[in-house]
Amino acid sequence: MKITIENYPLALKSPFAITGHTFTTSDTVRVTLEDNGFIGRGESMGIYYNNENAASIIAQLEQVSEPITSGITLEQVQRLLPLGGARNALDCALWDLEAKRSGRSVWEMLDIMPKPLVTVATIGIDSPENMAESARQFSQYPKLKIKLSGDAPIERLEAIRLARPDATLIVDVNQGWTFEELKEYTPSVNKLGIVMIEQPLPRGGDQELEGYESIVPLGADESCLDASEYETAARRYDVINIKLDKCGGLTEGLKIVRLAQRDGKGLMVGNMTGSSLSMAPSYVIGQYCQFIDIDGPLFLKQDIADALNYGDGGVVSVPIPALWG
């Protein structure tokens, strides 16, 4: 088996701000596996809050390239690399390769019939006026995800709600509130019809959520990286956000799905930006989720060939085999 590891920086249309971080480019790493003429691909961004970047992901993959070339299984990938971007790119490339080698789609491998997904469109932190204008520009998207910090969050939400009274809104605080702020803001958030608050408190600082009954459902993002963190997160949150860059690929993502299904826990699929090649394996996870966030390509100046189609109503087409799976 041959492995090719490449850095693919993808230009964003404009900078995108969240609590504590601003994205100026989508600096992806692409893994291509080739075996007897069959090709599988995977892409990752890694997770910035674990100090991952393209250089660190490439270094991790290069360190394990020798056992990969000897042939590797999905089970072996989980032991070969820790959670994060490197394992995600390799894991997803191997899923794609297995589909191509077997002549069976990922959907056939998993015995599911894919349905079209409706993604949110995400609005980054800006002035209330600019965020409201972004909401209007996303008029074809019935669901919006609003990035917030501790700086005038309700003022921003009120401006967006005025601009889009029709939209289903979720908010993502990216660890930006304290527990006291969460309790202070939640009544207003509820009055504005917000359906979920994602990651309000810092990772490692959300113990106070155990036993707390929020009138607006709470979602775990940074507080649940992989399946090993699921049980703790499930005691504190109503919804678990699965991102393949966090957990280390589709294999681990499906493991979290099974745990959540066992407990009747809500699920969300998210992304760290990236091209349609990053979104395609996440599309599989999205089949099991109530909240869909696979809008990364919307922020790119140019997506890759054979890209997903983002249509009216936020409907995203099923990936074609030429893209992945």
Report pTM: 0.96
- What is the mean pLDDT of each successive set of 10 residues along the chain, which is 325 residues long? 97 89 92 98 95 97 95 96 98 98 98 97 97 97 97 98 98 97 98 98 97 97 98 98 98 98 98 97 98 97 97 96 97
At 133-175, the pLDDT tens digits run 999 999 999 999 999 999 999 999 999 999 999 999 999 999 9
Query: What is the rounded CA–CA span in Å between residue 12 and residue 26?
Result: 7
Query: What is the rounded CA–CA span in Å between residue 217 and residue 230?
Result: 17
Residues 6+ apart with CB under 8 A from 264: none
User: Catalytic annotation on 147?
Assistant: yes
Residues 6+ apart with CB under 8 A from 98: 40, 74, 109
For 295, the token pair is: 């809008």
Q: How many Cβ atoms are within 10 Å of 116's Cβ, its own excluded? A: 14
Q: Which domains does the chain have, with CATH numbers?
A: 2-103 (3.30.390.10), 117-316 (3.20.20.120)
| Catalytic annotation, pick one of 100, 143, 243, 246 | 243
User: Catalytic annotation on 13?
Assistant: no
| Catalytic annotation, pick one of 143, 145, 147, 265 | 147
Q: How many Cβ atoms are within 10 Å of 215's Cβ, its own excluded? A: 8
